[in-house]
Amino acid sequence: MKLTCSRDALLNGINIVSKAVSNRTTLPILECILLKTYDDGFKMTGNDLELGIKTALIDADIEQQGSVALEAKLFSDIIRRVDGETVNIFCGNNNAVVLSCGKSEFKIMGQPGDDFPEIPTVEQSFAYTLKQKDLRNMITETIFSIAIDESKPQLTGELIEIKGTSINIVAVDGYRISYKRATVSEAETPVKVIVPGKTLKEISKILSSDEEDVDLYITDKHILFDLQGNIIVSRLIEGDFIKYDQTFTDEFKTRVIIDRIDIISSLERASLVSRDARKVPVKIDIQKDKMIITSQTEMGTAYEEIKIDAVGDNLKIAFNPKYLIDALRAIEDEVISIQFNTALSPCIIKPEDGDIYKYLVLPLRL
Amino acid sequence: MKLTCSRDALLNGINIVSKAVSNRTTLPILECILLKTYDDGFKMTGNDLELGIKTALIDADIEQQGSVALEAKLFSDIIRRVDGETVNIFCGNNNAVVLSCGKSEFKIMGQPGDDFPEIPTVEQSFAYTLKQKDLRNMITETIFSIAIDESKPQLTGELIEIKGTSINIVAVDGYRISYKRATVSEAETPVKVIVPGKTLKEISKILSSDEEDVDLYITDKHILFDLQGNIIVSRLIEGDFIKYDQTFTDEFKTRVIIDRIDIISSLERASLVSRDARKVPVKIDIQKDKMIITSQTEMGTAYEEIKIDAVGDNLKIAFNPKYLIDALRAIEDEVISIQFNTALSPCIIKPEDGDIYKYLVLPLRL
């Protein structure tokens, strides 16, 4: 294999496929990036067997066809640090690779390209299309509430539901539910799949924040994300997701309209009287025009007062402040609505109008 | 004790004295900040028994005199997070303290102010005065080469030498020497003291980067830094510092004028072929117009070429790249000079002209 390509294009590709490279594995080849030439360029692949990423064709002068797998960290460090516009890559006998750029030359050992595991083939018959930034926001604004505990594997992923022109994502960890919706191209048939949390975290780092589209292809076992020719394939998690819909009741006995930054600041301050920040329960006392947040530990007590607009009953309720803060931080709106029923039933955080996002948090017993 | 003060002034004082607060100690009072009122304000003190810091008087309305010691982290977190211009501090019976600001109120337990250890008294008879930024640069550009190993306690500090209008600082760890000089107000008598590295690291964080002065007062056992009324007192390290002067020979057989960023980049790239970054030895081959840097490990080989101006003999020599990089990163000059004698004798990094800074690094055997 012998090729010459732009350093910027190479580095961009490395940054994309690195998201699927395994960090610690008993199979050293999974710590590699595969380079494989085609007529007018080459593609790179990363694959940790759960998540696989293959770049679109990267322009290059190909002098000699071939493939080789290079240790991802070393390859990426070298290409990031070298100083020059073009990079020459030559793979000789025994997978000995010479990388040269500017006044730098590296000789490193690769592994046979044929030993690198192929990423699964996914039939690309029907695409659901949405904005990359919408998918990115859906992930980053919900992913924090997937379950860490592997005992319910379904909850370590997020539910993606597509119906009509609507796509939504849901994460549930047993203490809270996070939900966010966006618009998708008209769906042929409704789908419901559970995508591993790790996949979504890595994809959210690659998704662009501008107007570009992403195409989703879904089969029984896999989901494929096509980002302008860069292909990401992940396995799906089997089984049924928790039925979350009924828990988002529209009924409430108390509704609070509140400044989002005000309540975040007060919850964070109330959490200070704990060595284990955010693990101290906070008590919330809702009155007509103010919310009083208090906490008490062996370290001391905190008292916070926030101006609000409330309708309905006065209420005293307690929460783990971390769960409220995680949800409130994910939202962008300046003012939000929080609905309550009793001191023992969950609260629901929503926009003042509509329900494009919904967060449910269980209270603690007072 | 009862007082009202500006939150900004309080926070500024906390940030200064926090540098002397102990993180882990068997004496809980050392994890505290002492507040003590005077007629028109109050002072705060931090003291870990090696380093003590007392603020200048902070303006406040004093309703009731007194003193109390507050757990530094909690106190600092609260004052940093509260929202308001003024803070009220009230210490009632049993050292129960109420902090209030804006719509927030905290009750925390303090400890008796009288239990807080006084910082040592240092006679302030003669001051050596220099710019704070000069002292800061002297520290940050040399501190990395103090010894970590406690077996030679003198080398865990830095030597400060004052003679005439000249002040210099020296750090030695057995593999390298770092030296930096600045101008000081005319000294009455020459002094040589060893200041603990920890003291210098903390002070460098407080020293301003503008034109303000710092006054140094030195006794047999202590050094006192007066930063516009904020007083920092540190014990000195006893014993004799290593005689470093003769090692900085002016003679050389090879002298290289080189772009500082070029050689840093090349050394860093040559270090990439090692899992333990910067621990791979690099070989340096000096020719008339170029320096060739190479390294070789089980991971691969690196070859780097840099344009230089050299006078004297060609030379092949090897170094631990970390030691060269540490020194080169501390320098600000674009172009520097490196002097060599033999492959077994140290190199000296200096400005192209003069010797306001000097770094000596021992080579490795090829």
Compute how many other C-beta atoms are within 10 angstroms of the C-beta atom of residue B17: 25
Residue of B nearest to A264 (CA): B81
Q: Between chains, do B81 and A306 touch, taking CB under 8 Å as contact? A: no
> What letter would DSSP give residue A143?
G
Q: Is residue A214 part of a domain?
A: yes
Q: Which of B107, B272, B305 sits opposite A78 (nearest CB)?
A: B272
* DSSP-assigned letter for residue A208: -
Question: Do the Cβ atoms of A47 and A117 come closer than 8 Å?
Answer: yes
- pLDDT (tens place) for every residue of chain A, 366 residues total: 999 999 999 999 999 999 999 987 789 999 999 999 999 999 999 999 999 999 999 999 999 999 999 999 999 999 999 999 999 999 998 999 999 999 999 999 999 999 999 999 999 989 999 999 999 999 999 999 999 988 999 999 999 999 999 999 999 999 999 999 999 998 878 999 999 999 999 999 999 988 999 999 999 999 999 999 999 999 999 999 999 998 999 999 999 999 999 999 999 999 999 877 557 899 999 999 999 999 999 999 999 999 999 999 999 999 999 999 999 999 999 999 999 999 999 999 999 999 999 999 999 987
> Residue B324 falls within a domain, yes or no?
yes
Q: Label each residue of chain B as H, E or C.
A: CEEEEEHHHHHHHHHHHHHHCCCCCCCHHHHEEEEEECCCEEEEEEECCCEEEECCCEECEEEECCEEEEEHHHHHHHHHHCCCCEEEEEECHHHEEEEEECCEEEEEECEEHHHCCCCCCCCCCCCEEEEHHHHHHHHHCCHHHCCCCCCCHHHHEEEEEEECCEEEEEEECCCEEEEEEEECCCCCCCEEEEEEHHHHHHHHHHCCCCCCEEEEEECCCEEEEEECCEEEEEECECCCCCCCHHHCCCCCCEEEEEEHHHHHHHHHHHCCCCCCCCCCCEEEEECCCEEEEEEEECCEEEEEEEECEEEECCEEEEECHHHHHHHHHHCCCCEEEEEECCCCCCEEEEECCCCCEEEEECCECC
Local structure of A246: helix, strand or coil: helix
Helical residues (DSSP H) of chain A, grouped into ranges: 7-17, 72-81, 132-140, 197-206, 260-270, 321-330
Question: Do B61 and B24 reside in the same domain of the chain?
Answer: yes
Q: What tens digit of pLDDT does each residue of B60-109 get?
A: 999 999 999 999 999 999 999 999 999 999 999 899 999 999 999 999 99
B121 located within any domain: no
Distance from CA of B90 to the nearest CA of A (A): 14
Question: Does one domain contain both A97 and A57?
Answer: yes
CA angle A306, A311, A316 (to 5 degrees): 60
Q: What is the count of structural domains for chain B?
A: 3
| Cβ pair B250, B305 in contact under 8 A | no
Quote the domain boundaries for residue A72. Answer: 2-115
User: Are B211 and B176 contained in the same domain?
Assistant: yes
A102, A82 contact by CB (below 8 A)? yes
Rounded to the nearest angstrom, the minimum Cα separation between B121 and chain A is: 33
Contacts of B306 in chain A (CB under 8 A): 103
| Per-residue pLDDT reduced to its tens digit, B130-180 | 999 999 999 999 999 999 988 999 999 999 999 999 999 999 999 999 999
Task: Evaluate whether residue A171 is within a structural domain.
Answer: yes
- Answer for the pair A357, A177: CB distance below 8 angstroms, yes or no: no
Which pair of tokens denotes residue B330? 């501390």
B122 located within any domain: no
Q: Tell me, yes or no, whether B177 and B227 share the same domain.
A: yes
Kindly report the backbone phi and psi dihedral angles of residue A27, in degrees, each rounded to the nearest multiple of 5, phi listed first. -105, 95
In a domain, A291, yes or no: yes
Residue B366 forms part of a structural domain: no
Asked whether residue B326 falls in the same domain as residue B298, the answer is yes
Question: Which one-letter amino acid corresponds to residue A302?
Answer: A
- Choose the final residue of a domain: B115, B136, B164: B115
A178 and A235 together in one domain: yes
For residue A178, report the phi and psi dihedrals to the nearest 5 degrees.
Answer: -120, 135
Residue B81 and residue A105: Cβ atoms within 8 Å? no
Q: Clarify whether residues B289 and B343 are in a common domain.
A: yes
Same structural domain, A271 and A255: yes
Asked if B82 is an interface residue toward chain A (Cβ–Cβ < 8 A), one would say yes
Domain end call among A194, A229, A245: A245
Indicate the residue among A191, A210, A245 that finishes a domain: A245
Q: Is B343 on the interface with A (CB under 8 A)?
A: no
- Chain A contact for B134, CB < 8 A? no
**B152 and B106, same domain (yes or no):** no
What is the CATH classification number for the domain harbouring A45?
3.10.150.10
Mark whether B204 and B255 lie in a shared domain: no
Of A81, A103, A306, the CB nearest to B305: A103
Same domain, B202 and B229: yes
Q: Which of B98, B110, B180, B79 is nearest to B139 (CA)?
A: B180
pLDDT for B256-314, tens place per residue?
999 999 999 999 999 999 877 557 899 999 999 999 999 999 899 999 999 999 999 99
> Does some domain include residue B158?
yes
A174 and A253 co-located in one domain: no
ipTM given for this complex: 0.90
- Own/partner pairs, A205-211, CB within 8 angstroms, 24+ separation: A205/A19, A206/A16, A206/A19, A206/A53, A206/A230, A206/A232, A207/A132, A207/A133, A207/A135, A207/A136, A207/A139, A208/A132, A208/A133, A208/A136, A209/A132, A209/A133, A209/A136, A210/A132, A210/A133, A211/A131, A211/A133
